Structure 1
Amino acid sequence: MSAPLVGRSEERSDEESLFSLEFRAEVRFLATLGMTFCGVVSKLRNKSLTSAPHLSVVFSSRLSSSRRRVILSASIPMPELPEVETIVRGLQRLLPGRRILDVRLGKTDFIDDPVQLGESLPGCRIESVTRHGKFIVFALLRSNPAASATASDVASKVTSAGVRMHLLVHLGMTGQLTVRPAADSAPPHTHAIFFLDDSRELRYTDIRRFGRILVVADSRIGEFRDRLGADPLEITEAEFARRMGVRHARIKALLLDQHALRGMGNIYADESLWHARIHPARQADLLTRKQLRALHREVRTVLQTAIRLRGSSVSDYVDAEGSPGRFQLRHRVYQREGKPCARCAAKIRRVIVAGRSSYFCPRCQRPPRVRKRARQSVDAIKRRR
């Protein structure tokens, strides 16, 4: 029987503990928004909710008033592939070979099991830092497993070289991972500090605490990696067309589907679609080969350019050394509603696609045509009203 994940995940099924990790930050965020919905409405009561820049409220008229659904779609940006890749490259330059001496935790509601985390990590050497989708993966090795038998038995795989395990970090909406001198005071909302053997600290800071930290056994890291889709920087044109071109779903939804492409998010989906001149609501299985080829090319180009410019700092994102990115200066549509398109000067618009705010140019990215039968159905509904 393979070793389980550390902490609370021991009580979860494999599907819950691994398959859904990528989406928990967004789920927790939307749940919090739902609890504060009344306060939001009171603040916006003199404004049109559908025109608010970062909040769209959609009511389902087919439900009774007692069961009316409220769908909240927030465009607060989450660190995506370029931001996480930038952080990982910085950490990979700073951390391999360093040993974790101790761990200090603040608020721990985003950590699978803070007690076991604190027991497992001290004494571990950081071997490498890599990215898998939006996850930051620390490969750890503890050379003396006897020093902490209970923690290692739960979390890790014992080998002749020592105990191997992997620390996974998802930044959620506002998470930051930085390496700072121990003499520097920690900023507010620092909830995890990993003390290193060179008088520096690896700090996890998260205002909203929608991130995730957990330890995965070495024997199960392959299973974790297999749960997510292809990396958009590595996927071939043929594989991209196979994953995208046969699905009866909106192309924006597929780009955000972590089982199809791991690491893509709202910013870079919108930017890639603009460059490829494809409307975010287009059905993926109706795209031509030429369009799929263009989208594959633009996804890679946009992501590579964003990495070169160290990501987009449109909210709380900073790199491993605390510096902001610059790709937000290259945004063509994201959060530019009402501003002129850089290509044709038409005003950028915003719609909700796949539950997310989607920005597009109505002239460069023609909306999908409504089929005749669907149009007739819409007209019939209007006549009945």
Structure 2
Amino acid sequence: MPELPEVETIKRTLSPYIQGQIIARVAIHHPGVIAAPDPDSFTRLLTGREIFGLGRRGKYLLLHLAGEYCLLAHLRMTGRLVLVDEAAPLEPHTHVVFTLAGGSTLRWVDTRRFGRLYLVKEGEVENTAGVGELGPEPLDPSFDAPALAAILAGRRRPLKQVLLDQRLVAGLGNIYADEALFAAGLDPRRPAASLNLEEVASLHGAMRAVLEQGIANRGTSIRDYVDGSGRQGSNQEHLQVYGRTGRPCPHCGQPLERVRLGGRSTHFCPRCQV
């Protein structure tokens, strides 16, 4: 699933090319991916609107439109939003095509069809698809170590599960949670409330570092993810523990292990992470 760095990368790669463009036509090939409003209204309301700017909230991509409308895209597992020339053939699993007045098309492609598109008024964004329930952005300057300590305090759930809870911290997913916990030297199975202040500060720094690295490397492409221009990221070449079960720890050489926490695979070093 695309996480914060991947959605941020899509936003940054699309923004220079679609900001200021007008949506000339909308073609829906699979209505099931339109969560709101109904497909006919979705097409009618989008046609002719200018894209003023792009934003991101957690794992949601936001396209701000004329008339105080906002198009929210939640990529889920395999969603892609890619800008291609209008003449390019449709690839399989292309469900929505936004033709821009400049001659290019913005295409919603999703193999598993779990992703969803929402067109709402700007004032309704916080009430859409749980956006208003999202926790703080981990790269926001206001999200400091004391803010993280307040989130962890009193919570007995394993650290990994707390970091994945979008109501507590927005944007972290399986990949970057594993990488942050390894960088901080913390066992993902530990109760969140068991961290001391030094460990909280270490985790806070590690979270920011792995997310910033992911953005700098244009995201992690393991399966389906590509950026807004259709290019893969390179952060998969820099992962320390995620997806490396049985390989030697890059720090101590101990074989890396995998357990399931809250139904999610979790990768860690049993020696370095305590």
The two structures have a TM-score, normalised by structure 2, of: 0.95
Structure number, greater radius of gyration: 1
Q: What residue in structure 1 maps to residue 79 of structure 2?
A: 175
In the alignment, the residues of structure 1 paired with residue 98 and residue 33 of structure 2 have an alpha-carbon distance, to the nearest angstrom, of 16
Measured after TM superposition, the shift of residue 190 of structure 1 is 0.5
> Unaligned stretches of 5+ in structure 2?
none
The amino acid that maps onto 1:131 is R
Runs of 4+ in 1 over 3 A off after TM superposition: 222-226
CA contact (8 A) 2:162 2:168 kept: yes
CA contact (8 A) 2:33 2:95 kept: no
Identity %: 40
The amino acid that maps onto 1:305 is Q
Paired residues for 1:230-379 under 5 Å:
230-234=136-140, 235-366=143-274
Determine whether 1:221 maps to 2:144.
no
SS in 1 for 2:32: coil
Paired residues for 1:61-72 under 5 Å:
none
The amino acid that maps onto 2:48 is G
Determine whether 1:80 maps to 2:39.
no
CA RMSD of aligned residues (A): 1.0
Measured after TM superposition, the shift of residue 111 of structure 1 is 1.2
Q: What residue in structure 2 maps to residue 209 of structure 1?
A: 113
> Unaligned stretches of 5+ in structure 1?
1-77, 142-162, 367-385
Q: 1:111 aligns with which of 12, 34, 49?
A: 34
Matched residue count: 268
Measured after TM superposition, the shift of residue 117 of structure 1 is 0.8
In the alignment, the residues of structure 2 paired with residue 121 and residue 108 of structure 1 have an alpha-carbon distance, to the nearest angstrom, of 15
The amino acid that maps onto 1:129 is L
In the alignment, the residues of structure 2 paired with residue 302 and residue 92 of structure 1 have an alpha-carbon distance, to the nearest angstrom, of 23
Deviations 1:188-228 (A, max 9, x none): 11100001010000001011101011112122224455321
The amino acid that maps onto 2:217 is L
SS in 2 for 1:91: helix
Q: 2:14 aligns with which of 73, 76, 91?
A: 91
Deviations 1:15-48 (A, max 9, x none): xxxxxxxxxxxxxxxxxxxxxxxxxxxxxxxxxx
In the alignment, the residues of structure 2 paired with residue 323 and residue 109 of structure 1 have an alpha-carbon distance, to the nearest angstrom, of 26
The amino acid that maps onto 1:106 is H
Measured after TM superposition, the shift of residue 252 of structure 1 is 0.5
CA contact (8 A) 1:111 1:214 kept: yes
Determine whether 1:195 maps to 2:99.
yes
In the alignment, the residues of structure 1 paired with residue 173 and residue 126 of structure 2 have an alpha-carbon distance, to the nearest angstrom, of 23
Determine whether 1:100 maps to 2:27.
no
The structure with the largest helix share of the pair is: 1
SS in 1 for 2:65: strand
CA contact (8 A) 1:92 1:130 kept: no
The amino acid that maps onto 1:321 is S
